[in-house]
Structure 1
Amino acid sequence: MKHLFNKLYVLHILLLAIATAGYAQTAKPGAKISGSIVDAQNKPVEYATIALIHAKDSSIVKGVLGNGQGAYVLERIPNGTYLIKVTAVGYNKGFSKAFTVTGADVRVPAITMPSSAKALNTVTISSTRPLIERKFDRLVMNVENSVLATGNTAMDILERAPGVSIDKDDNISLQGKNGVTVMINDKLTYLSATQLATMLRVTDGSNIASIEVITNPSAKYDASGNSGIINIKLKKNRDIGSSGSITVGTAYGRYWKDNESISLNHKQGRLNAFGTFSHNDNKNYRTLSISRVVDSVGKKTYFNQMTLMDKSNHNNNYRFGADYDISKKNSIGFIISGYNSSNDQNTPTTTYISKSENSRDSTLIASSITNQNSQNFAANINDRWQIDSLGQSLGIDLDYSKFTNNSDADYVNAIYLPDGTLKKPASYLRNQTPSTIDIRTAKADYAYPFTKTLKLEAGLKFSDVKTDNNLNAQIKDALGNYVNDATRTNYFIYQEKIDAGYLSLSKSYKKTSIQAGLRSEYTSSVGNLVTNSQVVARHYIDFFPSLFINHTLNKKNEIGFSYSRRIDRPSYDDLNPFVYYLDQYTYKQGNPFLNPQYTHSFELHYTWNSTINVNLNYSHTSDVITQIILTDAVKKATFQTDLNLDQQDAYGLNVNSPYTITKWWTGNLNFGSFYLDNKSAGLLGANLNSGKLSYNLKATQTFTMIKGYRIEIFSAYKSAISTGIYDVRPQYSTDAGISRSFANKKLNVKLSVNDIFNQRTNNVNSMYQSVNLQIVQKPESRITRLNITYNFGNTKIKARQHQTGADDEKNRAGGGN
């Protein structure tokens, strides 16, 4: 694998160097042709398409796009007789008179473009992309230019997508089910839940173009994700010429926040270069209250815990790259991206401990101070080759990503008696937890159309992921010195290699399209707990079939069916057996013995008039990876970990519909309902059988009653849900924003407020066997944001966009940019 990766890498570098040198050597001198395009009022026609054609046979010699002032320039033109042909949206075609090039530069007289517009009395017709679109295998939420996107993070925007929910620990679920795979620009992120949350919370929402919800992915995608894939599509400046944008913003909730970003793009000839950089400072807080009862040998102990979590984040993101067209059919490119994130968290906790509900025997005062630094570097080299005009193509992606995280934490635990004296000497603990994740992937995708209606797709992918986690733990001794704590110090290495291949065949009929695919993945993983020489090794091969059928009943009615089998491997965080403390009675611990979970997923969908989408789904998951809270009766501690439950059957209904009340009041309504039936034998000494019918409602409204202003209001309600041994209480909130453009739409000002009524909470109860707890969390959710964006350069004509190929792996690593 390593040798293949290196060989392909060198091959692509050589191709780029040879192509660049060849282009430079073959460029020939010639004349320059210039001119301008105007309308009937002699005003410039912006960004028209200019074609230089031979006067003799009308064959095209060269093409270029005019600029914002209607001017154009064609360079290195050989001698001959030519015409200029012009096309532009809203105008009929325009032509120049024939002219001859004899070596000297030529200035073509201004070409006047006759308008093709027809009067429609006083009716103005405009077209905007709907908020939610239904495509062959996915729902797409178009957030680009949304009033509520700018200034928010990717995590904030993601929660507004159809069927998506985010819990108190930033775990993402889709239609009530966990096991979501998150991709960015069609690439897996290979991050753990914690790392993924970090990455999404430092990604500026103004850089997002759309969010795709794929509940039943095809064989082309990695088989991970039992509830489906969420693909976040980032904006990529694709303007011909030079262009860019600058955004500055500020926000206030309980603390002040700021965000800044700059985006640049330049396209000329065969080269397209682009780059973005963003920075934000985000200080936030949340309150956490936990009430629990621990039963130890028939004796109950009551804990009432109150915690304030203050966190300061400082984040820098960058992304830059270039595409180079070696020929009309072959394009090579690279992308470099990454982030640097630092956060300081202070978590003071007060816990009242008693033997009965109405007494107080002692008080635990705990302090947790954490300083964390995270970095990510990712590089992609890609080649896209259109082999022929029939659609045969080959795409190759080579990716390397490295995540590093360094965390230092200090813990102080002191227990006081009711009279204020110490029950015993306070304990002082200290942790250093450096960790790295290295990801290497290589993939190739090939498409071959047998006919216009029959197409074969095939591909190979290799991934190699290694995580290295070290926990250096110290405790303060009687002399006041920190010494190694052998009971907590740990070292865990996890390596995983996946070799995958797929075949997919699609056939289109007059009203029906069918796609059938099969993917195979061979997984080899080794988890090594070095400290006690405990090794967990697994080697297995799986096959993942998929089937899609779409049928058009008539012009307004379309139905479809899909099936897929999928897998969820445990995230690297979940496998890591390290212990992370909130205080001595509350902590989190990974489970290196987790097994992957498998899901069979079925889906029926109906679309009316390309607007109203109805989706019915059913899935069966075995070995369900579930977050659970357990009790250590000896230590009287409560800790969170993950276990495999026997099975989960999920039934769901999702309805999405745009609506128009008046020409200035439009919106989108999304309703989702699901029932999760969880079963597991012998869980904490009993048989689990839990289920609850739940639903959520999301409504977006857009108002344009005042010329030049755009107002958006987003409201969401989630009913109570039962998942595993948890009961999550209802949640609801309302966001609103207003935007106004100036200076011919180059300057845009947006003001928004998240959770206007300050109602967003995360409340969880659990009453199962020995588990008896209630959790109440209130985040800093009411935040006012002001953002100003300035666009400059050519911002209208778009060029090619491409994607990369390693996002699948980064998802399970967890917390990037």
Structure 2
Amino acid sequence: MKNLVFLSLFWIATNSFLFSQEYKVSGVVKDSEDLALAHANVFLLAIGDSTMIKGTSADNQGYFEIAGVSRGNYFIKASYIENESELRWVEVNSDIDVASINVGSNAQSLEEVVVTLQKPRLERQVDRMVFRIENTALSDDDIWSVLKRTPSIVVIDNILTIKGTNSVGLLINDRIVNLPDEDIINLLSGTSASNVESIEIITNPPSKYTAEGDMLINIKMKKNLIAGYNGAIYNRYVQGVFPKHTFGMDHYFKGKKTRASINYNFGDSKELAKFTDVTNFFEADEIASVWTAEQEYTKRIKRHNATSFFDYDIDDKTTISFSTIHEWSPKVDRIYDTETSINDPEGPLNSKFNTINNSHEEQLNTSYYLDYVHKMNKKGSEIAINSHYTYYDYERGQMLETDFYDVAGNRTDENDFTTNSEQKLNLFSLQADYSQPLGSSAQIESGIRYASIASKSIISQQGFDQSQTGIDPTLAGRFTYDESIYAAYASFNAKWDKWNIKSGLRAEYTETLGHLDVRPEVNKRTYLELFPSLSVKYALNKNHEFSLQYYRRINRPRYGSVNPFQVFQSNNSVVEGNPDLLPAIRDYIAIEYTFDRSYTAEIFYRNQRDQLRQQVFQDNDANLLRFISTNLDRDVTYGTYFSLNKDITRFWYSYLSFSYYYKENRFTDIYSQQLLDNGLWTWYVRANNGFTLLNDKSLLLDIDFTYFSRLAVGNSRQDPYSKLGIALRKTLWNKKASISIGVDDIFNQGNLFNVRQFNNQYNTSLSRRENRLFTLGFRYKFGNVAIKNNKKSKSIDERDRI
């Protein structure tokens, strides 16, 4: 109770803090008889290619307001049903009122004015980079594939990284999504990117967001600005070694006071990955045997994704929203087929064994969100309240069957055992935000938040030989982990002539309680952390800009990683949780210079304390490979970053980035308890080029290339790798349909090789996934599509760590 009182007082007190706003463009839409047009659509368009930058709808009195507009020149245009106004040129360098915009009864069609092509431009803002993909060769792909091609984002072994960090949070329409990594991939790979307007790489997250994660990726969905109904159906086929198929449909409706959307897709896929693990087991500081494990992993998954939203305008100032997201995987089959040979150090074979791990899973993730927004009498002031509940249910049963053979191939023994596990989570959060402008160039914002997480994990294992050295599994156990987070923040944002400033301070108080029923000890932890942030941008003139960024953030352990269970993946490999994991705290600072809005140079420094990472250690006594969740003692990265973002010609857009940095990981050898350093200078290059191949701009081409040099990853070193991908998109039938094809990792160079060599540890891992993929997609739009591709998809609200 005392914590809630403290947060309430803190929230009230921080209303005197300052927070900025972007410029606003406002006015009134009227018809040819000078009467107000309620619920007319208003668009802000780019000069040059007339692509839509922002849009909104007028209220009952025809009044509209477009917020968050950057300094610059634009076209503005209004439409109502099939009638539209003329284009009007506006210059935005402060809040402006354009007075009235008149929509005639026989104005020309918007389709004749708006150029369909929008090249994948990268816009730099004070705290983020915005990559627009709308109407590009990427927009018929799925969102996960688009992220792989987004500038500044690198996907290594299905893990997102930005500038050397993999502590990357995901947002959809400004709201945090924190699902297990594999669930995020399932969600995004089953969602069409045709509903995405842009990808924002938030390099310095505002204090309004939870302090969880490092940098953030914000997926901005399109808005449905036209009254009536429209929809689309789409089909996407991917061929690797095995086929993968996704079918989906979108439905959108907008009335005078209501907006609604229902989106559904079904995916059926089969995946293949091959792994080679070579472990040199030691005895008396000498290599005693060499174990080579060749594993073939197949995964078959059927999944259903469904989202819906409903917005209702109670009046001109108040809106309530209800939304849901459901992900159901009723059938996930995994088979690990591992052949392990045991050789003398000199080479001769001693023996071998084969393990089949056959597992079946079912997963349900369902979430519900309720939002309330009220605009206060003072222009620009508003209060927002949002609540969220998620239920997560995961069950997995696996059977491991191992047969042992001698040198002659005769079967000598067997070891069969089963494991059944399940995890259930209930997540709840409630947040209140208040914002108020200060004049025309600044704004304050503050808020409070409460989150409650209750996790329960159950495991039962039978059949394995517990007499083996180093084996201490829990035969049956129940682990509960509860967490409460109390947070409050205040922030200030302002624009003064050449200066743009965003700053904030967030406080989070956390209580955790973990207990395994078969052990007496209880893990209880409480901590209070402060998270300041600052972004400053100075524009000397249109050709020279300077920026400074600083933030402090946190990463709390995933719930699965704190489960203190030993779960076997094969006869000599085991995955272990760690209930003693600490939250990771990081500080980041960067100084940046941009010339002509196209060329950028940056130096940065990142210091991470107690970085969370799963590391591999070999148990030389038990001949085991142990995959253990740990905290790194030190994780420091510093270096330089350069980028080019430019239209080379009218039909060729190019993005190029290069980074050279030093990364050092300090970790503890769990056997000797010795602190060891693993540091390397690393560099990578990323090139993305978009082309318009026909005069009618109906054929688009995207080419993407990535190269990474040798890299330090925890207690291992990763060899260089590269990827080259290509995508084509052709619009058909007056742009109501589109077809796309592409090939990812054309030369199949995206395989990963890791080496761990220190003290009495010497093992290697080679990962060969289905990197080379052929994709074929088709999308058809129907209904009221007079305004192309302006569809709204309600965002996913905050989910905490699952």
The TM-score bracket by the shorter chain reads 0.7 to 0.9
Q: Distance in 1 between matches of 2:735 and 2:473?
A: 63
Q: Distance in 1 between matches of 2:254 and 2:482?
A: 41
**Compared CA separation, residues 582 and 575, structure 1 to 2 (3 A):** same
1:766 equivalent among 731, 756, 771:
756
Q: Is the partner of 2:561 in helix, strand or coil? A: helix
Please show how residues 363-378 of structure 1 align to structure 2 within 5 Å. 363-378=352-367
Partner of 2:678: 690
CA-based RMSD: 3.2
Q: Is the partner of 2:411 in helix, strand or coil? A: coil
Q: Structure 1, residues 31-86: CA drift from partner, whole Å, max 9, x if none?
A: xxxxxxxxxxxxxxxxxx97348x6xx562646469xxxxxxxxx99xxxxxx999
Structure 2: runs of 5 or more not aligned: 5-27, 43-59, 62-79, 90-102, 466-471
TM-score, normalised via structure 1 length: 0.82
**Compared CA separation, residues 127 and 782, structure 1 to 2 (3 A):** closer
1:336 equivalent among 324, 327, 335:
324
**Compared CA separation, residues 306 and 446, structure 1 to 2 (3 A):** same
Q: Distance in 2 between matches of 1:522 and 1:117?
A: 52
Which amino acid is 2:359 matched to? T
Q: Does 1:349 align with 2:338?
A: yes
CA contact (8 A) 1:565 1:600 kept: yes
Which amino acid is 1:509 matched to? W
1:88 equivalent among 78, 84, 95:
84
Q: Distance in 1 between matches of 2:694 and 2:793?
A: 38
Which amino acid is 1:512 matched to? W
CA contact (8 A) 2:85 2:107 kept: no
Which amino acid is 1:566 matched to? R
1:735 equivalent among 716, 725, 731:
725
Q: Does 1:142 align with 2:121?
A: no
**1:460: how far off?**
0.8
**Compared CA separation, residues 308 and 50, structure 1 to 2 (3 A):** same
Q: Distance in 2 between matches of 1:255 and 1:471?
A: 32
Q: Does 1:167 align with 2:156?
A: yes
Which amino acid is 1:394 matched to? I
CA contact (8 A) 2:190 2:265 kept: no
Partner of 2:174: 186
CA contact (8 A) 1:90 1:115 kept: no
**Compared CA separation, residues 172 and 641, structure 1 to 2 (3 A):** farther
Q: Distance in 1 between matches of 2:474 and 2:112?
A: 81
**1:672: how far off?**
2.6
Q: Distance in 1 between matches of 2:82 and 2:237?
A: 45
2:453 equivalent among 446, 465, 468:
465
Q: Distance in 2 between matches of 1:116 and 1:500?
A: 46
Q: What count of residue pairs does the alignment treat as equivalent? A: 718
Q: Does 1:388 align with 2:377?
A: yes
State which drifts further: 742-751 or 503-512: 503-512
Q: Distance in 2 between matches of 1:642 and 1:345?
A: 22
Q: Structure 1, residues 209-250: CA drift from partner, whole Å, max 9, x if none?
A: 33222222121121122x322223344544421111110122
Q: Does 1:595 align with 2:582?
A: yes
Q: Structure 1, residues 694-730: CA drift from partner, whole Å, max 9, x if none?
A: 1222222222233432122111111111122211111
CA contact (8 A) 1:218 1:564 kept: no
Q: Does 1:219 align with 2:207?
A: yes
Q: Distance in 1 between matches of 2:546 and 2:280?
A: 52
**1:471: how far off?**
0.9
Q: Distance in 1 between matches of 2:173 and 2:81?
A: 37
Q: Distance in 2 between matches of 1:86 and 1:155?
A: 36
Structure 1: runs of 5 or more not aligned: 5-48, 67-75, 78-83, 94-108, 478-484
**Compared CA separation, residues 530 and 368, structure 1 to 2 (3 A):** same
Partner of 1:715: 705
Q: Does 1:209 align with 2:197?
A: yes
Q: Is the partner of 2:463 in helix, strand or coil? A: strand
**Compared CA separation, residues 117 and 201, structure 1 to 2 (3 A):** closer
Please show how residues 545-560 of structure 1 align to structure 2 within 5 Å. 545-560=532-547
TM-score, normalised via structure 2 length: 0.83
Which amino acid is 1:88 matched to? E
Q: Does 1:413 align with 2:402?
A: yes
Q: Is the partner of 1:433 in helix, strand or coil? A: strand
**Compared CA separation, residues 612 and 327, structure 1 to 2 (3 A):** farther
Choose 1 or 2 for highest CA Rg: 1
Q: Distance in 2 between matches of 1:631 and 1:65?
A: 63
Q: Distance in 2 between matches of 1:59 and 1:136?
A: 40
CA contact (8 A) 2:168 2:216 kept: yes
State which drifts further: 208-217 or 724-733: 208-217
Which amino acid is 1:774 matched to? T
1:778 equivalent among 756, 768, 781:
768
Q: Does 1:673 align with 2:652?
A: no
Q: Structure 1, residues 241-293: CA drift from partner, whole Å, max 9, x if none?
A: 11111101222221222111111111011111111111111111011111111
Q: Distance in 2 between matches of 1:59 and 1:240?
A: 19
Q: Is the partner of 2:560 in helix, strand or coil? A: helix
**1:192: how far off?**
3.6
**1:683: how far off?**
6.2
Partner of 2:14: none
Partner of 1:26: none
**Compared CA separation, residues 650 and 291, structure 1 to 2 (3 A):** same
State which drifts further: 794-803 or 552-561: 794-803
1:452 equivalent among 437, 440, 449:
440
Q: Distance in 1 between matches of 2:31 and 2:651?
A: 44
Q: Distance in 1 between matches of 2:119 and 2:378?
A: 30
**1:674: how far off?**
2.4
Q: Distance in 1 between matches of 2:378 and 2:105?
A: 33
**Compared CA separation, residues 704 and 199, structure 1 to 2 (3 A):** closer
Q: Does 1:251 align with 2:238?
A: yes
Which amino acid is 2:357 matched to? S
**1:204: how far off?**
4.2
Q: Does 1:433 align with 2:409?
A: no
Q: Distance in 2 between matches of 1:624 and 1:187?
A: 24
Partner of 1:51: 30
**1:393: how far off?**
1.1
Partner of 1:295: 282
Q: Distance in 2 between matches of 1:303 and 1:452?
A: 69
**1:186: how far off?**
2.3
**1:804: how far off?**
5.7
Which amino acid is 2:30 matched to? A
**1:582: how far off?**
2.2
1:496 equivalent among 483, 487, 494:
483
Partner of 2:122: 132
State which drifts further: 614-623 or 733-742: 614-623
CA contact (8 A) 1:191 1:572 kept: no
**Compared CA separation, residues 305 and 235, structure 1 to 2 (3 A):** farther
Percent identity between the two aligned chains: 24
Partner of 2:778: 788
Q: Distance in 2 between matches of 1:462 and 1:735?
A: 43
Please show how residues 195-206 of structure 1 align to structure 2 within 5 Å. 195-206=183-194
Partner of 1:746: 736
1:562 equivalent among 515, 527, 549:
549
Q: Structure 1, residues 174-216: CA drift from partner, whole Å, max 9, x if none?
A: 2222322222332223334444444444444444433222222
Q: Distance in 2 between matches of 1:147 and 1:749?
A: 10
Q: Distance in 1 between matches of 2:619 and 2:561?
A: 19
Q: Does 1:541 align with 2:528?
A: yes
2:393 equivalent among 404, 415, 421:
404
Partner of 1:275: 262
1:530 equivalent among 497, 517, 522:
517
Q: Is the partner of 1:562 in helix, strand or coil? A: strand
